[in-house]
Amino acid sequence: MLAMIHAKPSKQTTRQLIILKDRKSYFQYIRLLKKNGITPIKTIKSLNMVCCHVDRNKVSQVAQNHSKIRRVEADVKARAHGFPKRKGARVSGSSTPWGVRRIGSPSVWPRSTGESIRIGVIDTGIGPNPDLKVAGGINTINPRNSFHDDNGHGTHVAGTAAARGINSGITGVAPRAKLYAVKALDQNGNGFVSDIIEGVEWCIDRRMDVINMSFGIIGNSPALRRSIRRANRHGIVVVASAGNNGSDATRIDEPARYPETIAVAASNRNNKIASFSSRGQEVDVAAPGVDILSLKVGKGTGTRSGTSMAAPHVSGSAALLLRLNPRLSPSQIRNLLASTALHLSGSSRRAQGSGLVQADRAADRVHANLHAAKPRTVKLRSPTLRANVRNRRPAKRKNRI
């Protein structure tokens, strides 16, 4: 029965996600694999999921030969949505990058800097960099290894979201937010969806407030969709980059395509949608993503472009709003950012969604709503309040896929 499952990879095998029907079946299957000398690549108990090397010619037989298997799907690959600095790119002379200024973040800082809000960055890792306060993390590719960044992409993304502006002078959108590094992409910016799913589940367990996903997967993954739906139900705002497939794209990448995420397109200094930014009806908002100045591993700064660079502007904005009102649900955060966005003339709805994020306008709306409601004073981020937020289920939204 297990002849098609292999202990080691080879030219004849492919990585597959085996999802069992229930928890009991999950543990039984793991014991069965162990009895036959097979150690899975990865196991994720919360999803009853086992990742294994499977004979590529017998994938369809795996589920047929075990009644307790719900589904088998490919462990598809993922890739970061960022480009390195292009020749002739403009570099801001200000300590606050142009993108952070363009979305109005500095106007919010007297009221909120995102203090204590947890942002999980699922990427190539973070840092080290003295201007990034990383409160914790995990390497889901190899848990025995560091979550430090060996590519630079994740550090750049983290800097835009929450650089502290002390040593390098670069200040992110939410400079006092707490960063958590989830290294699920390798030194080339590539990875497998199983490592990403493990990262999402880690963020759920550690009670992140926001998850930033500046990458796309190559193909389709019901398992990833299920994990992100779980994050959404736990009150986590999930932000994802739309992709860099350009104006000819017929749809944006997963996971940005999921209705549970905030899908972010990239704009330039001229308030136009970047030529590389993917188009699709699932785009929610746009944010600066061209020639974005942020942090490098070690020290110093660098410029990159891509929808990868746009997404953390939105993640940081969500952190600013959550600091103002921790009771906001993921759907409320999305609606606030969309309803206060700046429409960009000359760009279609498929290109920009509701328009360019304006964190200051959104914060003003939150402040006005709080003042109108005259809520009872509560201690922000208290355990009881966090539990109430986590247990709130957001309103269901029409499936856009």
User: Do 159 and 202 form a contact (C-beta atoms < 8 A)?
Assistant: no
Per-residue pLDDT of the chain (401 residues; tens, 9 = 90+): 567 888 888 888 999 999 999 999 999 999 999 998 999 999 999 999 999 999 988 887 887 767 889 999 999 999 999 876 654 455 554 578 999 999 999 999 999 999 999 999 999 999 999 999 999 999 999 999 999 999 999 999 999 999 999 887 799 999 999 999 999 999 999 999 999 999 999 999 999 999 999 999 988 999 999 999 999 999 999 999 999 999 888 899 999 999 999 999 999 999 999 999 999 999 999 999 999 999 999 988 999 999 999 999 999 999 999 999 999 999 999 999 999 999 999 999 999 999 999 999 999 999 998 878 665 555 555 454 455 555 554 444 444 44
Per DSSP, the three-state class of 251 is coil
Point out the domain boundary residue: 47, 75, 103: 75
Contacts of 135 (CB under 8 A, 6+ apart): 118, 178, 179, 180
Residues 182 and 206 in one domain: yes
The DSSP symbol for 40 reads -
**Could you say which of 123, 149, 253, 360 is catalytic?**
123
Residues 64 and 118 in one domain: no
Residue 312 to residue 162: CA distance in whole angstroms = 9
Q: So what's the pLDDT on residue 387?
A: 52
Q: State the CATH number of the domain containing residue 34.
A: 3.30.70.80
Is the domain of 313 the same as that of 186? yes
- Per-residue confidence (pLDDT) for residue 388, from 0 to 100: 53
pLDDT of residue 249: 83
Based on the fold, state whether residues 83 and 49 are members of the same structural domain. Answer: no
Domain count, the chain: 2
Residue 308: active-site member: yes
Judge whether 399 lies within some domain.
no
Q: Are residues 13 and 141 in the same domain?
A: no
- For residue 301, which phi and psi values (nearest 5 degrees)? -130, 160
CA 347, CA 268: separation in Å to the nearest integer? 12
Q: What single string gives the DSSP state of each residue in 343-401?
A: PPTT--HHHHTT-B--HHHHHHHHHHHHHHH-PPP--TT-HHHHHHHHHPPPPP-----
Q: Check if 153 is active-site.
A: yes
Q: CB–CB of 73/295 below 8 Å? A: no
User: Per the residue annotation, which of 267, 294, 308, 317 is the catalytic one?
Assistant: 308
- The residue annotated as part of the active site, out of 148, 153, 234, 313, is 153
- What are the structure tokens assigned to 58, written together? 């017998």
Phi and psi at residue 80, to the nearest 5°: -70, 150
Contact 230, 261 (CB under 8 A): no
Instruction: Mark whether 165 and 260 lie in a shared domain.
Output: yes
pLDDT computed for residue 7 by the predictor: 80
Q: Kindly state whether residue 206 falls inside one of the protein's structural domains.
A: yes
CATH number, position 119: 3.40.50.200
Contacts of 65 (CB under 8 A, 6+ apart): 1, 4
Instruction: Quote the domain boundaries for residue 18.
Output: 5-75
Q: What is the pLDDT of residue 85?
A: 61
Strands, DSSP E only, in 193-284? 210-213, 215-217, 237-241, 261-267
Structure confidence at residue 376 (pLDDT): 54
Q: Is 10 tagged catalytic?
A: no
* Domain stop point among 45, 75, 105: 75
